[in-house]
Chains A and B, each alone.
Chain A
Amino acid sequence: MNTENLIALLVAAPLLGAAVLLCGGRRLDRVGHWLGTLLAAVSFVIGLVLFTDMLGKGTEERSLHQHLFSWIPVEGFQADVAFQLDQLSMTFVLLISGVGTLIHLYSIGYMEHDERRRRFFGYLNLFLAAMLLLVLADNYLLLYVGWEGVGLASYLLIGFWQHKPSAATAAKKAFLVNRVGDMGLSIAIMLMFTTFGTFAFKPVLEATAETSEGKLTAIGLMLLLAACGKSAQVPLQSWLGDAMEGPTPVSALIHAATMVTAGVYLIVRSGAIFNGAPDAQLAVTVVGAVTLLFGAIVGCAKDDIKKALAGSTMSQIGYMILAAGLGPIGYVFAIMHLVTHGFFKAGLFLGAGSVMHGMNDEVDMRKYGGLRKYMPVTFVTFGLGYLAIIGFPGLSGFFSKDKIIEAAFAKGGTEGWILGSVALLGAAITAYYMTRVMLLTFFGEKRWEPDAQGNAPHPHESPKSMTIPMILLAVGSVFAGGFFSIGDRFMHWLEPVTHHDHGDSPLSAATVTGATMVVLVIGVSLAWAQYGRRPVPSVAPRGSLVTRAARRDLLQDDFNHVVLVRGGEHLTRSLVYVDHTLVDGVVNGTAASVGGLSGRLRKLQNGYARSYAVSMFGGAAVLIVATLLMRAV
């Protein structure tokens, strides 16, 4: 059997699950969650089979291709439903289906008391199918289908608890902000079509060498806009924090481990386009650098555990985008960080969910404290995730983030220095805010109190279906980075697709590592000094101006409101005015004049046969004269 025929099954299995679960009705309520988990696992197993098969082949033969059918066969416009499975897609397939399966498993316990659990699993399966389609598509149009599919699934899942107005609003916000990015992708695809006459990866990426830099820059910037939307990068970052209104497994799966990395995938996949457009690349690195600081600063100020983690996600994806913007120096590290981040961020979110599960869904970290005694498994797995993300030596984050900082310096010139310093600064802030989360949640005195109804939380460890995924993810958080980096395994695996360039670093690897360690210690110590040594007030102090701004997500929504919403309203109002007066005026005027003309012409029809005969006679005369004149001229 040809293994490439299995590729479609990767997408088909969860898609089937979504269809069955969403259309099956209540009779599936009792088994729905198991069915959903099973189909996610099927996808993962098929992924593993394909992976082993791929490892058994030579580098040249690893890229598989499966053509399913012609989607839009129009002369000069050919769109196929066809899949491409190469090392890059394979990495994503394993991450998506693997982490996805674990989170399905976790959701069984987490959503146990929710009466719409079947529907939730249907949405999760839909998400998996769309995300797998996104990374397996062999052309941009099909990728766009997956892109919209994950957007839809994300919308449905953020708003899953739609009875809460905040959840419904957050879902709408995510959807709208994402539309801005989607527009970028659709424009990019149109530009590709006019430039290359196709939008299949292979011909497009091969043709970039003969294409003018201007066109590549335009396409690249539009792709960047798309990536900003999906990956919550500045300036389209505002939806991610609110998206935490969704159930925690959703935050873990979609808004930490997989969907938000789609932007990184898009940029790395389109590497050839960015390689030919240095200006677009610079824009990518700037976006990445700004976002990594932005997210980190927001993360420092949030008391809501999920929102703090959301800021962190933004910041970490900023690292990946930064790396992806560095070109061949960074592609491999962007993806490597993406994978390790998938492990530890999913683990952190699941840990946060576990904490909330035990604390009556309280999210304010100032109401936690000392939970390590009550939730030992959660504490250990969360702690390992924490160590991984701050880049503790030997753990996953250490390897992947360190490489990105090195690569940033290796960019060379002033840019390299600036980007490298920003990345280093980010590492310090990361260490600070993650230590803060850790200390507030698991250390210190317990600060929880009975709520208004007098229900005091009774923190307890979560059931097995929740802790097992956390343990597995923690294993990944600890070992993945080392496994990938020793002997440059990951680099050799991905190099055939993304290519790699070592760059020319002004600093030695050891220097960078040393500097990273130094900032790490500084960040942790600062947090310790602030939250470890002193008791934490359970009501947040007023804080400095910067803190207050950071609590409000650095005024992102205020900015959007003033500039975009108000501006948009003014624009639409003036357009409506023009429409009412000018356009309607012209239209109504035309209609009125046609009506008036009709009334006048109608009078010609006076009912007298003699007048009709005159009209015929005149018409005949004109006809004859006109015919003769035609000959004359």
Chain B
Amino acid sequence: MSATAVHNLWTMAAADPIDKIDAPKIEYGQLAPTLIVIGAAVIGVLIEAFVPRKSRYYAQLFVSVVALAAAFAAVVALASGGYGTTKARIAAMGAIAVDGPALFLQGTILLAGLVAIFTFAERRLDPVTHGNRIDSFVAQAGAVPGSAGEQAATKAGFTTTEVFPLALFAIGGMLVFPAANDLLTLFIALEVFSLPLYLLCALARRKRLMSQEAAVKYFLLGAFASAFTLFGIALIYGYAGSVSYGTIAKVVDGTLTTVDPALAGTMGNDALLLIGAAMIVMGLLFKVGAVPFHMWTPDVYQGAPTPVTGFMAAATKVAAFGALLRLLYVVLPGLRWDWRPVMWGVAVITMLGGAIVAITQTDIKRLLAYSSIAHAGFILAGVIATTEEGVSSVLFYLGAYSFVTIGAFAVVTLVRDAGGEATHLSKWAGLGRRSPLVAAVFAVFLLAFAGIPLTSGFSGKFAVFKAAAEGGAGALVVVGVISSAIAAFFYIRVIVLMFFSEPKADGPTVAVPSPLTMTTIGVGVAVTLVLGVAPQYFLDLAGQAGVFVR
């Protein structure tokens, strides 16, 4: 480019008056759930700065619970105000959708977050040390494991109450993720909820090295996946000249043909579209833990503090599947003949891979991690249906699955020996003899994971497989059922282990938790049974919430 030309550019720009930037129009009412949670997270940071150490725990717990409950109330108010159906719209200048799937998933995330926060706040499981009640989190995250500083911090009774604002930030990001209506919002939400999770994973009180290793792995691989996503977003922008879902969809359909002169060389290039879409989808598949992007899952689930694992396993999956659904149904429906076969393959290897590798696991947390991988495969089967029923069934499945998961991990926190949680399966032998109630509750969760009738797992699996079969994915359903059969083996094996094996002499004890964890487990059991015995109301609810706004 010659100097003149450059000069012309400048002068031309100078000659034209700069367009006035309009103040963004934000519908605060419709975004209230997210705003409340993020606001509470900021307050949580301020509490860390200004409230005396002794009072922080109570202040943080209070703020978190109130914020999550208020945000959930806001979601209910929006839904009953018709924003889920007739008044569904796109808010915040096209950045965030307020529609049925978004509200349903936000409600699920908030409730799951609420019961998960209870397990974060649990302080009765370990005996009182140095006159202080302790929770699952490290006394001082900055202290080197095994160092004198760590001991001093423990002795001083420090606790990492920062976990509450971190969790709230993560929940805030998760609320935006499935509602994001342009690719940049999607990416920012992804990072907003991922970064606090990386931190949370590193905060285990015991087995700190393992916890930190898990966090680093999660962070590295998460960053790697984010890079793919971001690059995919760039490619799509190159293809469509926009990051807005609606505009991209129109360009894909061919209904919008106006070409941005600056992008004339790339716009409409299908290779960019296909590669970009695959890369964004890959980033989301990483978050849901689909094979072959699943390998972080077992290590991170095992290393993270168990309350965090439960929260992450439930809420991340809900948010990520929400975003995946919106991307595939709103942005790429015109491309479904391209992505469906690929997703078929991913779903098949995810279902089979998760179920098969779970068989040889010996650690309960890793077992549940592989179980979550298999479940991601089942949910993908519903995603592939590409029908409204498919969306509803996925929504229902996610709701059912999150409470079972949080409940199951909450039970894992109860079974302890001298070294903290006793997660090796051999230690669970004969648990049913020693603590029949806890073992029975865990058995209910396992049966729900296995999809046995009268549990929410069956209702969810039935809904998803039915939608998939009606959406023309019958073969996928067959694979799903086979995987379920394989998966049933290791779930039932744990039940057999608990009830039909002799207890070991030096076996773990079952801690009696505070009402907080009891609430979490109680809610888990109640939801599991209600959605299993009388799922119709909730199926209808999910059914009404099955339409995306475009």
Contacts and interface: CB of A to CB of B under 8 A. Distances in A.
Interface of A: 591, 594-595, 597-599, 601-602, 604-605, 607, 609, 611-613, 615-616, 618-620, 622-624, 626-628, 630-631
Interface string B352-370: 0100111111000000000
Interface residues of B, number: 40
B220 interface: yes
A622 B343 CA distance: 12
B295 A630 contact: no
Given A598-B357, A601-B353, A628-B274, A623 B342 contact: yes
Interface string B340-384: 011001100000010011111100000000000000000000000
Given A598-B359, A616-B286, A619-B292, A630 B337 contact: yes
Nearest to A624: B278
Nearest to B360: A598
Contacts of A618: 292
B292 A594 contact: no
28 contacts: A591-B489, A598-B360, A599-B360, A601-B357, A602-B357, A602-B361, A605-B299, A607-B299, A609-B217, A609-B221, A612-B295, A615-B293, A616-B292, A616-B293, A619-B291, A619-B292, A620-B278, A620-B279, A620-B282, A623-B278, A623-B342, A626-B345, A627-B274, A627-B277, A627-B339, A630-B338, A630-B341, A631-B270
B360 A605 contact: no
A616 B295 contact: yes
B278 A631 contact: no
Nearest to B219: A609
7 cross-chain pairs, A with B, having the tightest CB-CB distances, nearest first: A619-B292, A612-B295, A598-B359, A598-B360, A624-B278, A627-B278, A609-B217
Interface in B287-301: 291-293, 295-296, 298-299
B359 A615 contact: no
B275 interface: yes
Contact of A616 (B216, B225, B361, B486): B225
A591 B486 CA distance: 9
B324 to A, nearest CB: 13
Contacts of A611: 295
Contacts of A602: 357, 360-361
A616 B278 contact: no
Contacts of B361: 602
Contacts of B274: 624, 627-628, 631
B281 interface: yes
Contacts of A612: 217, 221, 295-296
Given A595-B360, A613-B221, A631 B292 contact: no
Contacts of B275: 624, 627-628
A615 B295 contact: yes
Given A630-B337, A630-B342, 20 more contacts: A595-B359, A597-B356, A598-B358, A598-B359, A599-B360, A602-B357, A602-B361, A605-B295, A609-B220, A612-B295, A613-B220, A615-B295, A618-B292, A620-B282, A627-B274, A627-B278, A627-B338, A627-B339, A627-B342, A630-B338
A599 to B, nearest CB: 5
Interface of B: 216-217, 220-221, 224-225, 228, 270-271, 274-275, 277-279, 281-282, 286, 291-293, 295-296, 298-299, 337-339, 341-342, 345-346, 353, 356-361, 486, 489
A616 B356 contact: no
A615 B277 CA distance: 19
A602 B360 CA distance: 8
A624 to B, nearest CB: 4
Given A601-B353, A602-B357, A624-B274, A616 B279 contact: no
B71 to A, nearest CB: 33
Contacts of A628: 271, 274-275
Contacts of A604: 295
A611 B224 CA distance: 13
A592 to B, nearest CB: 11
B103 to A, nearest CB: 31
A591 B489 CA distance: 10
A17 B384 CA distance: 59
B338 A619 contact: no
A283 to B, nearest CB: 45
Contacts of B220: 609, 613
A619 B293 contact: yes
B356 A601 contact: yes
A630 B341 CA distance: 8
A624 B279 contact: yes
B359 A631 contact: no
Nearest to A617: B224
A626 B357 contact: no
Given A613-B220, A623-B281, A605 B342 contact: no
A602 B356 CA distance: 9
B298 A605 contact: yes
A616 B221 CA distance: 9
Nearest to A604: B295
A433 B296 CA distance: 90
Contacts of B279: 620, 624
A609 to B, nearest CB: 5
Nearest to B341: A630
A594 B224 contact: no
Nearest to B342: A626
A599 B361 CA distance: 9
Contacts of B217: 609, 612
Nearest to B270: A631
A584 to B, nearest CB: 16
Most buried by A among B292, B296, B346: B292
Contacts of B224: 613, 616
Most buried by B among A591, A615, A616: A616
Contacts of B486: 594
B547 to A, nearest CB: 27
Contacts of A615: 292-293, 295
A623 B296 contact: no
A623 B286 CA distance: 12
A243 to B, nearest CB: 41
Contact of B356 (A598, A609, A619, A627): A598
A607 B271 CA distance: 35
B295 A626 contact: no
Contacts of A601: 353, 356-357
Contacts of A595: 359-360
Contacts of B357: 598, 601-602, 605
Contacts of A607: 299
A594 B359 contact: yes
A622 B282 CA distance: 11
Contacts of B286: 616
A604 B294 CA distance: 12
Nearest to A610: B220
Nearest to A596: B360
B221 A619 contact: no
A621 to B, nearest CB: 10
A624 B228 CA distance: 11
A605 B301 CA distance: 14
B219 to A, nearest CB: 9
